[in-house]
């Protein structure tokens, strides 16, 4: 079953079967996940949480909590696809926590420079990880985290006719 959406210059397809496969692997942090799987889960999570937030704030919170673990495991496997350790996901959170603590300590004459350095480091680290997750191509061959994801068939947009 395919969900077909028109897109300028071609057609974008979100495969329900792939979404099922992604959710079945949601607790697995070993192995690799390509950009397509990462972006599919990202878009699905965004759409579901957006709809839930329109319905009820409590429902939106529950949905977000349910998607934390699948999204984190997908992020780790996506970093593995770029031959990067999943430990890079920890740095923005640790630096953000230290920034918050240093902000609280400002009331006790803590140096402002340290907070600025920590906040800047948090932003730079978050941008670095985000660029790797969204834009960097995965390794074509095997790397230290395993073989690339095998797909039954790769989709070529030119092979499909325009959806009307």
Query: What is the pTM assigned to this prediction?
Result: 0.73
CB within 8 Å of 139: residues ≥ 6 apart? 81, 82, 83, 148
CB atoms near residue 74 (< 10 Å): 26
Is residue 19 within 8 Å of residue 2, measured between CB atoms? no
The CA–CA distances, whole Å, from 82 to 12, 27, 117 equal 24, 20, 28
Q: Which residue has the tokens 């992020």?
A: 75
Q: How confident is the prediction along the chain (164 residues), in pLDDT tens digits per residue? A: 444 444 444 444 556 777 777 777 878 888 898 888 888 889 888 998 899 989 988 888 898 888 898 899 999 999 999 999 988 999 888 888 888 888 888 888 888 888 888 889 889 988 999 999 999 988 888 889 888 876 654 445 454 454 54
């Amino acid at each position: 079953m395919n969900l077909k959406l028109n897109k300028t210059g071609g057609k974008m397809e979100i495969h329900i079967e792939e979404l099922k496969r992604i959710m079945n692997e949601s607790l697995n942090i070993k192995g690799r996940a390509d950009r397509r799987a990462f972006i599919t889960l990202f878009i699905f999570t965004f759409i579901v949480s957006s709809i839930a937030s329109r319905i009820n704030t409590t429902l939106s919170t529950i949905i977000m909590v349910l998607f934390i673990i699948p999204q984190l495991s997908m992020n780790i496997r996506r970093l593995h696809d770029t031959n990067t350790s999943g430990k890079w996901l920890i740095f923005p959170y640790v630096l953000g926590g230290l920034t918050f603590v240093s902000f609280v300590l400002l009331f006790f004459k803590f140096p402002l420079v340290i907070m600025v350095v920590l906040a800047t480091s948090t932003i730079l680290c978050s941008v670095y990880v985000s660029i790797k997750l969204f834009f960097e191509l995965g390794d074509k061959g095997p790397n230290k985290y395993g073989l690339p994801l095998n797909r039954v068939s790769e989709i070529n947009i030119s092979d499909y006719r325009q959806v009307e």
